[in-house]
A and B are shown apart, each in its own frame.
Chain A
Amino acid sequence: MDQENLKAGYDRWKSGPYTKAKTRFAERMERFEGSSGMEIEPLYTPLDTEHLDYLNDLGFPGEYPYTRGVQPTMYRGKLWTMRQYAGFATAEESNARYKYLLEQGQTGLSVAFDLPTQIGYDSDHELALGEVGKVGVAIDSLADMEILFDGIPLDKVSTSMTINAPAAVLLAMYIAVAEKQGVSADKLNGTIQNDILKEYAARGTYIFPPKPSMRLITNIFEYCSANVPKWNTISISGYHIREAGATAVQEVAFTLADGIAYVEAAIAAGLDVDDFGPRLSFFFNSHNELLEEVAKFRAARRLWARIMKERFGAKDPKSLQLRFHTQTAGSTLTAQQPDNNIVRVTLQALAAVLGGTQSLHTNSRDEALALPSQDSVRIALRTQQIIGYESGVADTIDPLAGCYYIEALTDKIEKAAMDYIKRIDEMGGAPAAIERGFIQKEIEDSAYRYQMEIEEKRRIIVGLNEFTIAEEPPKGLLKVDPAVGELQKSKLAKLRASRDTARVEATVAALGEAARGDANLMPLILDAVRAYATLGEICGVLRGVFGEYKPGGAR
Chain B
Amino acid sequence: MDENRKIRVLVAKPGLDGHDRGAKVIARALRDAGMEVVYTGLRQTPEQIVAAAIQEDVDVVAMSILSGAHGHLFPRVTQLLKERGVDDVLVIGGGIIPDEDIPALKAAGVAEVFTPGTSTAETVKFIREHVKR
Chain A: which residue is nearest B118 at the CB level? Answer: A335
Q: Are B41 and A551 in touch, CB under 8 angstroms?
A: yes
CA A356 – CA B107 in complex, angstroms? 50
CA A446 – CA B115 in complex, angstroms? 21
Question: Closest Cβ of chain B: how far from A258's Cβ, in Å?
Answer: 16
- Chain B residue numbers with a CB within 8 Å of A245 are 21, 25
A371: Cβ under 8 A from any B Cβ = yes
What is the interface of chain B mostly: helix, strand, loop, or mixed? loop
Q: Are A334 and B117 in touch, CB under 8 angstroms?
A: yes
Q: Are A368 and B96 in touch, CB under 8 angstroms?
A: yes
CA A369 – CA B16 in complex, angstroms? 19
B85: Cβ under 8 A from any A Cβ = no
- Chain A residue numbers with a CB within 8 Å of B69 are 115, 130-131, 134
Q: Are B25 and A455 in touch, CB under 8 angstroms?
A: no
B106: Cβ under 8 A from any A Cβ = no
Q: Among B16, B100, B115, B119, point to the contact of A335 (Cβ < 8 A).
A: B115
A243: Cβ under 8 A from any B Cβ = yes
A402: Cβ under 8 A from any B Cβ = no
A203: Cβ under 8 A from any B Cβ = yes
Q: Are A371 and B100 in touch, CB under 8 angstroms?
A: no
CA A119 – CA B18 in complex, angstroms? 10
Chain B: which residue is nearest A127 at the CB level? Answer: B16
Q: Are B67 and A135 in touch, CB under 8 angstroms?
A: yes
Q: Are A464 and B117 in touch, CB under 8 angstroms?
A: yes
B68: Cβ under 8 A from any A Cβ = yes
Q: Among B21, B67, B116, point to the contact of A243 (Cβ < 8 A).
A: B21
A205: Cβ under 8 A from any B Cβ = yes
A331: Cβ under 8 A from any B Cβ = yes
CA A447 – CA B26 in complex, angstroms? 11
Binary contact track B92-103/A, C-beta < 8 Å → 1, others 0 = 000010111000
Question: Closest Cβ of chain A: how far from B27's Cβ, in Å?
Answer: 8
- Chain A residue numbers with a CB within 8 Å of B120 are 451, 455
Q: Are B16 and A444 in touch, CB under 8 angstroms?
A: no
B36: Cβ under 8 A from any A Cβ = no
Q: Are B68 and A480 in touch, CB under 8 angstroms?
A: yes
Chain B: which residue is nearest A129 at the CB level? Answer: B72
Q: Are A335 and B116 in touch, CB under 8 angstroms?
A: yes
Q: Are A115 and B116 in touch, CB under 8 angstroms?
A: no
What is the interface of chain A mostly: helix, strand, loop, or mixed? loop
CA A131 – CA B28 in complex, angstroms? 28
Chain B: which residue is nearest A116 at the CB level? Answer: B16
Q: Are A447 and B21 in touch, CB under 8 angstroms?
A: yes
- Chain A residue numbers with a CB within 8 Å of B115 are 335
Binary contact track A202-229/B, C-beta < 8 Å → 1, others 0 = 0111000000000000000000000000
Q: Are A131 and B15 in touch, CB under 8 angstroms?
A: yes
Q: Are B68 and A369 in touch, CB under 8 angstroms?
A: no
Interface residues of B in 1-55 (CB under 8 A from A): 15-21, 24-25, 27-29, 39-43, 45
A494: Cβ under 8 A from any B Cβ = no
CA A479 – CA B99 in complex, angstroms? 12
A389: Cβ under 8 A from any B Cβ = no
CA A479 – CA B41 in complex, angstroms? 28
The answer to whether residues A131 and B121 also contact, given A368-B96, A444-B24, A554-B40 and a CB cut-off of 8 A, is no
- Chain A residue numbers with a CB within 8 Å of B43 are 119, 127, 204
The answer to whether residues A115 and B67 also contact, given A199-B18, A205-B18, A447-B21 and a CB cut-off of 8 A, is yes
Chain A: which residue is nearest B26 at the CB level? Answer: A451
Chain B: which residue is nearest A554 at the CB level? Answer: B41
Binary contact track A428-456/B, C-beta < 8 Å → 1, others 0 = 00000000000000001001100100110
Binary contact track A83-119/B, C-beta < 8 Å → 1, others 0 = 0000000000000000000000000000000011011
A555: Cβ under 8 A from any B Cβ = yes
- Chain A residue numbers with a CB within 8 Å of B121 are 455
Question: Closest Cβ of chain B: how far from A399's Cβ, in Å?
Answer: 34
Interface residues of A in 353-378 (CB under 8 A from B): 368-371
Q: Are B71 and A482 in touch, CB under 8 angstroms?
A: yes
Question: Closest Cβ of chain A: how far from B74's Cβ, in Å?
Answer: 10
B80: Cβ under 8 A from any A Cβ = no
CA A128 – CA B28 in complex, angstroms? 29
Interface residues of A in 290-309 (CB under 8 A from B): none
Chain B: which residue is nearest A243 at the CB level? Answer: B21
Q: Can you show 8 pairs from A to B with CB atoms below 8 A apart?
A: A121-B16, A129-B72, A131-B15, A204-B18, A244-B21, A448-B25, A474-B99, A482-B71
Binding site for A on B (CB under 8 A): 15-21, 24-25, 27-29, 39-43, 45, 67-69, 71-73, 96, 98-100, 115-117, 119-121
Extra contacts, 15 of them, besides A127-B16, A331-B21, A555-B39 (Cβ < 8 A), are: A115-B67, A116-B16, A130-B71, A130-B72, A134-B69, A204-B17, A243-B19, A244-B20, A370-B68, A444-B28, A447-B24, A451-B29, A464-B117, A477-B98, A554-B41
